[in-house]
Structure 1
Amino acid sequence: MLGILRFFLASCVVVFHFSGSVPTIGILAVNFFYVISGYLMTLVLHETYRFNPVSFFSNRALRLYPAQLAICMVSIPFLWGLSNAQSFHPLWGTAQWQDWIGNILIFPWTFLPSQHFRISPTTWSVAVEICCYFLLWLFVSRRAWTAISSVGLAILWQAYQFHVGADQGSHYFPVSAAMLPFSLGAASYFATDMLSRSKSRKHASTVNQLAILISVIAVFVINWRLALRFDASPFYGLFYYVNDILACVSVIILHGKKYHGITKNISLWFGDLSYPVFLCQWLGAFIAWHIIGIGSPMRSWWVFLIGYVIAVGLGVCIVLLVDRPIQALRARVREIALAPRTPLRQSLN
């Protein structure tokens, strides 16, 4: 069910950007997504990759970069062939040589000013994730105490930003801000690990799975409504941080049971779709705006609906034509990571 939840969160970002009528929900969705990523990356680091950096980062690269590069190749003809690209998004202006390096490698966006040309504007958050993956591997996800210590350090950093009166975005955009939800996700893994030792995981019926998923989504939406009403800033406030706690509880509940059959396949499909849809949302909306007419508002429910359909269609193509063909290679990387270690391998690692 985490795959369906991730797709829902990606969809929240799309409606936030393009409907013009649903403020702040995308910010909470990204932080919720960060918690899920922290949890899943900690899980695979312990249970699949055993902190082998070559296997872990190779598989992450195979997941992130082929889809990103494919979307860039599809996007460029539209950005250069259709009018008013820079009006639709200011980042679609003139590209310099360092911008092409950033678009290829992704992670430099964490260290470069936001005004640099980005083919997929949302890759700033992917760059943050890549940097957080490194910190998870390096320290955060190693032990329960390292995860808890990281949560404490992240809280202190947030408190310091309040103390010095830092810009509101400092609570959300940089890697240092993202480490709070990522560390909470890592801590959630260790909480789940402790629970799994005392209670065996059982298959959940489809009805129970859907009930849990709907409950998680409903609580997320209620918290968003409260944040919209009471929080002074979309980048921080009581409900902004409650959102992270809700995400921790959600991943523990949703990953506490084994899923199988059609429910598992649907969840996997939606999980695979979440990343390409997230990446190509701006392209989909830009095309939709031209379909509706460039004299119409750039942000509207029609731009969202048509752009969302286009983004999902492109996402399906990316999954089928890019992701699926390299799944065998990714599976091979996992097999190597799971293989018993010989004395030579142990000495090398």
Structure 2
Amino acid sequence: MFGIFRTMLAINVVLLHIFNIPTIGNYSVSLFFILSGFLMSLIMHKTYGYNLNGFKVFWINRGLRLYPIYFVIIILTIITITYFPYIVRHPAIFLPKTFLEWSSNFTMLYPNIVPHRFEPRIVPPSWALTNELFFYVLISLGISKSFKRTLIWFIISVLYFVFTYKFYDLATFRYSAIPAASLPFSIGALLFWLSQKNKVKLKPNYYLVFGSLILFYLNSIYGKNLGDVSIYLNMLIGAFIVFELYKIKNSKFFKVDKYIGFYSYPIYLSHFVVCILFLEFSDVGNTVKSFKLNLESMPFYLLILFIINFLLVHIIDINLDRVKSNLKKKKL
């Protein structure tokens, strides 16, 4: 039952990028990584397996999940900034000039250990997909194939963070750098093994889920008083939320949860281009000389965001989901 949770995290990123509500989006990205580490380890063990055929089907399905909707959004963004070149927008949004820039943008593989430093990024949040893809490769090759491997991975990830404090104390290298994503991914993978070792006790506690979500938001808003402790508290809270949500097997809500989950990825990718369109056709809540919006524009912006993503989900995502399901049935 992760669909609603994923879409909630995507909306948190929108609140940071578009409405300048601090921290909540950054912390949500870390939770995305924890969830990915958990889910990718889970499906490699339970669905695909560690053989050549499983590896191949895994990557076909990952490609179908990540790229078609991304291509639509990047092309829409290119058209938008071509026709409305004077609209103030995210500074990374401009047209590439070299083959490397074009290929990096269309593959979401940015050649920088800190992917968000690479420019241009026509779809700015796509930097996180470089990190995701890197660890998808490692997981599909077996880095979390056993508990022992996963534990070693986690320890190395912790040591990396210790290293940054000792020798290279920059927050960027503990957030958006590729090796920084290793810690939340490894936490997610450890959660998978924890869930397998405690099957008898897997009974959901809804009060704990809601309480943990509230704690997540409180930590995001007030955690700056704790310094970097807030970062690791966020990961701990996120791990607990993921573990508790995994316990929920209520079939009554499964279809609703899955449907809402379809909106997570397109919302995450499209919110900047929607903002450009909003700024072109509306004066509500515009911040002078900024691509940020005031809170008064939130209902109107979110309505447009929902309409565009409704079309993306129903034209692309739902149909591709059927293709992926059929592929798994035929090939596995």
The answer to whether the superposition gives a TM-score over 0.5 is yes
Q: State which of 106, 114, 119 in structure 1 corresponds to 2:117.
A: 114
Deviation for aligned residue 1:165:
3.0
- TM-score normalised over the length of structure 1: 0.86
Q: Does the residue aligned with 2:128 lie in a helix, a strand or coil?
A: helix
RMSD (Å), alpha carbons: 2.1
Query: 1:247-262 maps to which residues of 2 (within 5 A)?
Result: 247-261=238-252
Q: Does the residue aligned with 1:108 lie in a helix, a strand or coil?
A: coil
Deviation for aligned residue 1:329:
2.1
User: Residues 285 and 308 of structure 1 are in contact (CA less than 8 Å); yes or no, is this contact kept in structure 2?
Assistant: no
Q: Does the residue aligned with 2:110 lie in a helix, a strand or coil?
A: helix
Moved over 6 A (4+): none
Task: Describe the superposition over 1:189-221 as per-residue Cα deviations: whole angstroms up to 9, x where unpaired.
Answer: 11011111x34x56x7xxx75x45432321211
- TM-score normalised over the length of structure 2: 0.90
Task: Describe the superposition over 1:240-284 as per-residue Cα deviations: whole angstroms up to 9, x where unpaired.
Answer: 0111111111111111131212x2112101211100000001111
User: Residues 57 and 331 of structure 2 are in contact (CA less than 8 Å); yes or no, is this contact kept in structure 1?
Assistant: yes
Aligned partner of 1:193 in structure 2 is 196
Q: State which of 311, 318, 328 in structure 2 corresponds to 1:317.
A: 311
Which deviates the most, 91-100 or 108-117?
A: 108-117
Q: Does 1:298 align with 2:301?
A: no
Q: Does the residue aligned with 1:140 lie in a helix, a strand or coil?
A: coil
Query: 1:94-243 maps to which residues of 2 (within 5 A)?
Result: 94-96=95-97, 97-108=99-110, 110=112, 114-196=117-199, 198-199=200-201, 209=206, 211-231=207-227, 237-243=228-234
Task: Look up the equivalent residue of 2:134 and give its one-letter code.
Answer: C
**Counterparts of 2:39 and 2:135 in 1: how far apart (Å)?**
13
Gap change, CA 1:110 and 1:67, over 3 Å in 2: farther
Q: Percent identity?
A: 23
User: Residues 154 and 187 of structure 2 are in contact (CA less than 8 Å); yes or no, is this contact kept in structure 1?
Assistant: yes
Structure 1: stretches of 5+ with no match in the other structure: 232-236, 339-349
User: Residues 209 and 244 of structure 2 are in contact (CA less than 8 Å); yes or no, is this contact kept in structure 1?
Assistant: no
Deviation for aligned residue 1:226:
3.4
Gap change, CA 1:160 and 1:190, over 3 Å in 2: same
User: Residues 42 and 136 of structure 1 are in contact (CA less than 8 Å); yes or no, is this contact kept in structure 2?
Assistant: yes
Q: State which of 272, 278, 282 in structure 1 corresponds to 2:262.
A: 272
**Counterparts of 2:275 and 2:103 in 1: how far apart (Å)?**
25
Aligned partner of 1:41 in structure 2 is 40
User: Residues 107 and 127 of structure 1 are in contact (CA less than 8 Å); yes or no, is this contact kept in structure 2?
Assistant: yes
Deviation for aligned residue 1:90:
1.2
Aligned partner of 2:7 in structure 1 is 7
Which deviates the most, 105-114 or 329-338?
A: 105-114
Count how many residue pairs are aligned between Structure 1 and Structure 2: 323
Gap change, CA 1:229 and 1:291, over 3 Å in 2: farther
Q: State which of 58, 61, 64 in structure 2 corresponds to 1:62.
A: 64
Deviation for aligned residue 1:83:
3.6
